[in-house]
Chain A
Amino acid sequence: MKYSVFSLLKEAFRGHTGWTPAWRKAEPKADYDVVIIGGGGHGLATAYYLATEHGITNVAVLEKGYIGSGNAGRNTTIIRSNYLLPGNEGFYEWSMKLWEGLEQSFNYNAMVSQRGVLNLYHSDQQRDAFARRGNAMRLHGVDAELLDREAVRRMVPFLDYDNARFPIHGGLLQRRGGTARHDAVVWGYARGADMRGVDIVENCEVTGFDIKDGRVTSIDTTRGTIRAKKVGLAVAGNTSRVGALAGLRLPIESHVLQAFVSEGIKPAIDHVVTFGAGHFYISQSDKGGLVFGGDIDGYNSYAWRGNLPTVEDVMEEGMAIWPGLGRIRMLRQWGGLMDMSMDGSPIIDRTPVGGLYLNCGWCYGGFKATPASGWCFAHLIARDELYPVAAALRLDRYATGALIDERGAGAQPNMH
């Protein structure tokens, strides 16, 4: 069923009795051309683009829980393409372009809101660094504006501009950045893939791979063995665990990242604002809750929850730029598993196992990459060649030295 103003009107007159489920609850078949492991945003986007761009529809997406129950359902929904390094910037800009046409493409309201992403700077040195990043963005054809203090004040008047330790000197603004509705992105891709024949199999955990002559032939799951010509792995925080089932040892550590939502308030903050002296980002959802987060906790974890020192740290950073935040109550807080890579940048590549493809290393920035990740991963799986804008996101870059280390922190995942 195509969603439109006409279908809405029609259903309004029928008492909304004609809506059908947005996707089927598929049973796994015995045989597929492509199996995607991981029913999050990236996995479902991959299946969607396999169907729409490459005509491959004999595809299953296997999900251990329900779709979107991992990081796709627990992020701070920010989309942006404000990176410095060439290996990243073209890729994230492609993602931004796909976001801009996404809702028309998959006929679903993902509530993409280009409200602008404002990175605050707090010193002359940081201004120079941000100017450099802004210039790098513009050289890639991406919009970036360096704002002075007064221009920022006109946008966000209530921040603490004269904070004794971290005064706000200005900001780097990407107007095309913003937010999207995370669950709707998952549902839109699931619906779009399902309409084209992709099987979305929930409650189906992968327990092993059958590898013959260096090539994956089938997958053991809790719902039986499934044969597959090609297998794509997009399981974020569980990458090492599932990869180990195929004998892979990967440059990934799993870390916990916490995020927070306040009680609902009237519209207060119109943009995504980030604190440059620490690591803090905040926006407001359409329900009115302030959505914000900071650093990862910083130690290996599969626990889906963090510890209080990080909570305190995030609150302190929030108070440093916006003292009014202290009068608002925090409503919810949760943790997700980040597949932290060794240089802080993602991997979309083949693996040493034939027919097994890898999509991982998104650190805590995977949501914004969802469309391009799916696009490039689908291209890789379908044609066995790297998509040009993702050509630097190689697994072997740790051996060749062609690292993409935005932060310059080295092989220390909790520092990225």
Chain B
Amino acid sequence: MAVMSRASVAVVGPGNVGTDLLVKLLRSEHLDLRYVVGVDPASDGFSLARESGVATSAEGVDWLLSRADLPELVFDATSAAAHLVNAPRYAEAGVRVVDLTPAAAGPFVCPAVNLDRHASAPNLSLISCGGQAAVPMVRAVSRVAPVIYAEVVTCVASRSVGPGARANIDEFTATTARALESVGGAGRGKAIVILNPVEPPVVMRDTVFCAIPADSDQGEITSSILRAVAEVRRYAPGYALRAEPQFDGPRPEWRGLARVAVFLVVRGRGDYLPPYAGNLDIMTGAAVRVAESLVRERVGAL
């Protein structure tokens, strides 16, 4: 049996998301974390990377792309604006990128829904934490009944949201809403995000509402949702329903449509920030899952 080679990867942006990802990458059997780069020497992830023997630089993408030994794949955990600047440079260097910012430069990927669809794309967008939580639920409903409109309300602990994400809240809402449509299958999508500063920090939660025809099969929808939750838990084990899906009958103010509401809690594995930061865990869990699947495909093709 041939020894499977590990793919060399880099993390750009060692803030909250990047550092949580780094911890997961150090555990991966298929991914070899070679570089961690950023622009702020004080970034959280640098010392952790150095302790683990990973090369670091605060000179950003310039430094990374001038390595003789380029990584096969980059995880971008910077900000939407920075990603849009860097994306063409990765493309030029022939380095694939998994984008954890809400820049939406490449096709949207949610591992539980469309992992295989975009296997050859050079730039894959992981949407947003709210998108990773909500899209599988919207898709679970839309494969049973038409979803005329879908809405997600994401609430995360203030402490888990770093400066990059704070500067990008508009991209977060716009990108998440679009993914509810294009990946979730909703006619129209809407996203709302709330940062809650209460101490002790609150665990990430998401409520997903779908407008559906009054005669939709509630039993089928519920079992489809349960299957989708199990699928997401393969890479984000703290993803769970807080209650049974709630069905409400049609109302005039809902234009005669009925509604299903799904109440989710997303607990993290505490890799970097404590378990309340499920928003980091579902993104980085999805990122590792996507990258490992790309690597397996590459090995399979040999």
Q: Is chain B found bound to chain A in the same assembly? A: no
On A, residues with C-beta under 8 Å from B are: none
On B, residues with C-beta under 8 Å from A are: none
